């Protein structure tokens, strides 16, 4: 009998305890984020939609090779010798005509691996995340522009007075055969930093 009474009392009392908790939560501040009106402050270096600055691309294709899901498609041809010289923003000469640079964001796994090898830092992740579409093909972003305005003057000329000083850095760029895009990738940052 005492056990029964204790049981009933505990049942009743614990219900009241639970009701007390929900009563308080009825009046606490809500945690809901009113999404389209309010937005999250994204953490620094958050990885969202990829962007590629076409004017800076030298067509080396390292990003496409680094991509684990093969969502970057590049088609590049050797620039004819008669064409005017053009340069990327960090002073690297662009020797390939990039006719196609497509990124399929519906395939992208947001790993950020493509941005590290880029010699000109022209591909990077933006904090832009609201790009849902009703059609999956709209996620295929075509970055190649037919009428892009390239830099025809080297923004960072290879330091005329310091030419002898930068002697070890210089040789790779004139010789740079199109078959070895990896050698200029390591060198220009060092010249830019020096």
Q: Please report whether residue 24 would count as binding other proteins according to CB under 8 A.
A: yes
CA pair distance 144, 147, nearest whole angstrom = 9
Binding residue for other proteins, selected from 2, 3, 30, 80, defined by CB under 8 A: 30
CA pair distance 170, 144, nearest whole angstrom = 30
Name beta bridge partners: 140. Answer: 104
The 3-class SS string of 95-106 reads CEEEEEEEEECC
Q: Please report whether residue 33 would count as binding other proteins according to CB under 8 A.
A: yes
Stretch that binds other proteins, among 18-26, 91-99, 154-162, 186-194 (CB under 8 A): 18-26
Stretch that binds other proteins, among 3-11, 52-60, 62-70, 84-92 (CB under 8 A): 3-11
* Binding residues with other proteins: total (CB under 8 A): 26
Structure tokens given for 1: 């009998």
Q: Please report whether residue 1 would count as binding other proteins according to CB under 8 A.
A: no
Binding residue for other proteins, selected from 6, 10, 13, 20, defined by CB under 8 A: 20
Q: Is 108 exposed, middle or buried (CB count within 10 Å of its CB: 0-12, 13-18, 19+)?
A: buried
Q: Please report whether residue 23 would count as binding other proteins according to CB under 8 A.
A: yes
């Amino acid at each position: 009998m005492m056990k029964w009474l204790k049981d009933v009392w505990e049942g009743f009392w614990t219900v009241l305890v639970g009701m007390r908790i929900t009563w308080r939560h009825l009046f606490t501040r809500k945690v809901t984020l009113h999404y389209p009106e309010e937005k999250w402050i994204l953490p620094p270096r958050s990885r969202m939609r990829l962007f590629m600055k076409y004017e800076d691309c030298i067509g080396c294709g390292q990003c496409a090779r680094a991509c684990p899901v093969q969502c970057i498609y590049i088609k590049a041809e050797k620039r004819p010798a008669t064409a005017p010289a053009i340069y990327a923003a960090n002073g690297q000469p662009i020797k390939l005509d990039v006719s196609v640079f497509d990124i399929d964001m519906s395939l992208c796994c947001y790993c950020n691996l493509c941005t590290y090898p880029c010699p000109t830092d022209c591909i990077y992740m933006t904090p832009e995340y609201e790009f849902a579409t009703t059609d999956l093909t709209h996620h295929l972003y075509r970055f190649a522009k037919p009428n892009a305005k390239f830099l025809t003057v080297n923004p960072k000329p290879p330091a005329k007075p310091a030419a002898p000083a930068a002697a070890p850095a210089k040789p790779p760029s004139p010789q740079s055969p199109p078959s070895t895009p990896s050698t200029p990738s390591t060198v220009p940052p060092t010249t830019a930093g020096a």
